[in-house]
Amino acid sequence: MAKAENKTKPEPVDPAAMIAAVEHPQRRADAEVLLPFFTRVTGWPAQMWGPAIVGFGRYHYKYDSGREGDFLITGFSPRKSYTSVYILPGYRDLSEPLSRLGKVKHGKSCLNINKLADIDMDVLEELVRDGVAYMKANYTTAAR
């Protein structure tokens, strides 16, 4: 049986061009802040993953089932209703820093932010750095 290919993979699109095309003015303005923020915090260049996710770094995973692939370590996506910020891995207890972050909805590995003014950017930096450090310590990682 053929292995399923990841739907979200690196694309040769300029992240700044994608951000410039975001229609919602708040999402576009926040993305213009997040692009240099993630570049500074991670030390990695931005890479588009699919048509709408700006990713930083990549890691290789392999499941017990044999499925394996690469995925972004961290990043963001300016969605229509909110900006998603991806913090991997999402299955650890991050309740303490999340309690200090501000107004945000979150799932296992993403934060859904209405606007950056609602959150503490220093705490976001703490979360991103923590996620990157964990991924580097536990997976094979690369800048691209």
Per-residue pLDDT tens for 64-105?
A: 888 888 999 999 999 999 999 998 776 688 889 999 999 999
Tell me whether residue 128 is exposed, middle or buried, using C-beta atoms within 10 angstroms of its C-beta: 0 to 12, 13 to 18, 19 or more: buried
Q: Which residues are within 8 A (CB) of 96 and not within 5 positions of it... i.e. 6 or more apart?
A: none
What is the value of pTM for the model shown? 0.91
The pLDDT tens digits for 97-142 are: 999 999 999 888 899 999 999 999 999 999 999 999 999 999 989 8
Distance CA 126, CA 120 (A): 10
18 close to 48: Cβ distance less than 8 angstroms: yes
Task: Give the amino acid at 73.
Answer: I
Angle between helices 121-138 and 25-42 (to 10 degrees): 50
- Is residue 44 pLDDT above 90, yes or no? yes
